[in-house]
């Protein structure tokens, strides 16, 4: 692979000095993915964060992911390159609104997609990721009515896979809902043999036309095991770096939207290589959390980690 740049070398030296581990989501820029100790999806990253024994966890992803790392491993200093790196999906379900809804509708079993705040996790019974959502929902006691928050697209997909009716919170990912059947059909005319791989945060019509719907991590395995040599990838563009690095002999085409040939998540892209260097140097911005909320948010995450082993 390519030699590292000066700033990447600087980051690795700082990492040693700080006794840090660099956890990286699949949507991060290539220069950050190249120097990650682990690059993966939300589920893999949660396990890695829980197991981390370094003093510092540098989380290259968005805020809820770094917050999850702090919840499962509170003794560590958890930093993220840009504190403003949020998530539209997480924002679509504020804690107060969920609390009010639960109060008005008592007895619901709340399954929360990990893309939510610590406050929302603290109000939930179990957490899931796109990688284990079907498995988690299947384990919810049969006599309970489920409320699934905050992603209505993932929730609708899981309800269909499991045959289990669920109330869906009306949230969505601003980036994934930009993929359309029309835009994907256009690119499929150019690559008629290429299977379409889509994230479950995409809308139903896009999921229905896809050959595979799965988490970012499972996309790697799917493309590896599928005999095709080209794939159309309907998820955030960072995923293409991961796929091209792991499967250099295959071709990956970014899923287009109606307006753009690819689809970046503006929050994921707030982390830059300079900000990563600065946060390791300054040990800031750091994730801090109310201990009461942290403890309440821990139980449903712990339940997920046990249920999905
Ligand atoms: P994955 O867990 O599949 O990587 O998804 C995370 C995410 O934010 C999707 O938008
Ligand atoms: Fe959130 Fe969507 Fe960005 Fe994932 S891609 S972090 S769900 S806004």
Q: What is the pLDDT of residues 167-211, one digit of tens each?
A: 999 999 999 999 999 999 999 999 999 999 999 999 999 999 999
Mean pLDDT throughout 270-277? 98
By DSSP bridging, strand 126-128 and strand 109-113 are parallel
pLDDT for residue 232: 98
Ligand 2: centre distance to CA 142 (Å): 31
The answer to whether the beta carbons of residues 289 and 69 sit under 8 Å apart is no
CA distance 265 to 27: 8
User: Residue 250: CB partners within 8 Å, gap ≥ 6?
Assistant: 223, 228, 229, 230, 231, 243
Ligand 1 nearest atom to the CA of residue 173, by list position: 10
pLDDT for residue 1: 64
E-state strands within the chain: 20-25, 38-40, 56-60, 77-79, 109-113, 126-128, 146-149, 166-168, 196-198, 212-213, 230-234, 251-254
Of 276, 298, 257, 306, residue with least CA distance to 121:
298
Ligand 1: centre distance to CA 72 (Å): 18
Average pLDDT, the chain: 97
The answer to whether the beta carbons of residues 133 and 154 sit under 8 Å apart is yes
And the tokens for 65? Answer: 């992911």
Structure confidence by residue, pLDDT tens digits, 212-258: 999 999 999 999 999 999 999 999 999 999 999 999 999 999 999 99
Q: Is 66 in the pocket of ligand 2 (CB under 6 A)?
A: no
Scan for tokens 């109060």, then name that residue: 103
Q: Where does the pLDDT of residue 259 fall: very low under 50, low under 70, confident under 90, or very high at 90 and above?
A: very high
Q: How many helices (H) and strands (E) does the chain have?
A: 15, 12
Which residue's CA is minimally distant from atom 3 of ligand 2?
Answer: 265
And the tokens for 31? Answer: 């220069």
Whether the predicted model's global pTM rises above the 0.90 cut: yes
ipTM above 0.95, yes or no: yes
CA distance 109 to 202: 24
Structure confidence by residue, pLDDT tens digits, 10-68: 999 999 999 999 999 999 999 999 999 999 999 999 999 999 999 999 999 999 999 99
The answer to whether the beta carbons of residues 22 and 61 sit under 8 Å apart is no
Ligand 1: centre distance to CA 104 (Å): 31
Residue 259: Cβ within 10 Å count: 9
The answer to whether the beta carbons of residues 150 and 169 sit under 8 Å apart is yes
Which residue's CA is minimally distant from atom 7 of ligand 2?
Answer: 173
Which residue's CA is minimally distant from atom 4 of ligand 1?
Answer: 41
Q: Which residues pair with 252 in a beta bridge?
A: 231
Ligand 1: centre distance to CA 131 (Å): 9
Ligand (nearest to CA of 197): 1
Scan for tokens 């800031």, then name that residue: 284
pLDDT for residue 301: 98
Residue 16: Cβ within 10 Å count: 9
Q: Is 42 in the pocket of ligand 1 (CB under 6 A)?
A: yes
Residue 216 known to bind ligand: yes
Q: Where does the pLDDT of residue 2 fall: very low under 50, low under 70, confident under 90, or very high at 90 and above?
A: confident
Q: Is 115 in the pocket of ligand 1 (CB under 6 A)?
A: yes
């Amino acid at each position: 692979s390519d030699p590292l740049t000066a700033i990447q070398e600087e980051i690795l030296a700082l990492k040693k000095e700080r006794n840090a581990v660099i956890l990286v989501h699949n949507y991060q820029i290539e220069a950050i993915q190249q120097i990650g100790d682990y690059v993966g999806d939300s589920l893999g990253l949660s396990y890695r964060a829980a197991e981390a024994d370094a003093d510092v966890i540098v989380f290259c992803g968005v805020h809820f992911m770094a917050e999850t790392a702090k919840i499962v491993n509170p003794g560590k200093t958890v930093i993220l390159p840009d504190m403003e790196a949020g998530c539209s999906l997480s924002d679509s379900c504020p804690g107060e609104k969920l609390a009010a809804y639960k109060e008005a509708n008592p007895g619901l079993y709340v399954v929360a997609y990990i893309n939510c705040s610590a406050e929302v996790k603290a109000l939930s019974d179990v957490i899931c990721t796109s990688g284990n959502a079907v498995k988690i929902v299947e384990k919810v006691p049969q006599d309970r009515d489920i409320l699934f928050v905050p992603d209505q697209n993932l929730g609708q997909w899981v309800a269909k896979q499991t045959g289990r009716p669920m109330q869906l919170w009306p949230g969505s990912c601003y980036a994934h809902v930009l993929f359309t059947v029309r835009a994907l059909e256009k690119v499929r005319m150019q690559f008629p043999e290429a299977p379409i791989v889509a994230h479950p945060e995409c809308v139903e019509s896009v999921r229905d036309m896809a050959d595979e719907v799965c988490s970012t991590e499972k996309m790697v395995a799917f493309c590896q095991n599928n005999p095709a040599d080209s794939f159309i990838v309907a998820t955030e563009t960072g995923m293409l770096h991961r796929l091209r690095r792991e499967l250099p002999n295959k071709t990956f085409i970014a899923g287009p939207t109606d307006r753009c040939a690819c689809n970046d998540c503006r929050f994921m892209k707030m982390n830059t290589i300079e900000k990563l260097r600065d946060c390791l140097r300054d040990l800031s911005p750091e994730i801090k959390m109310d201990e009461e909320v942290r403890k309440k948010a821990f139980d449903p995450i712990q339940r997920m980690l046990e249920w999905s082993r």
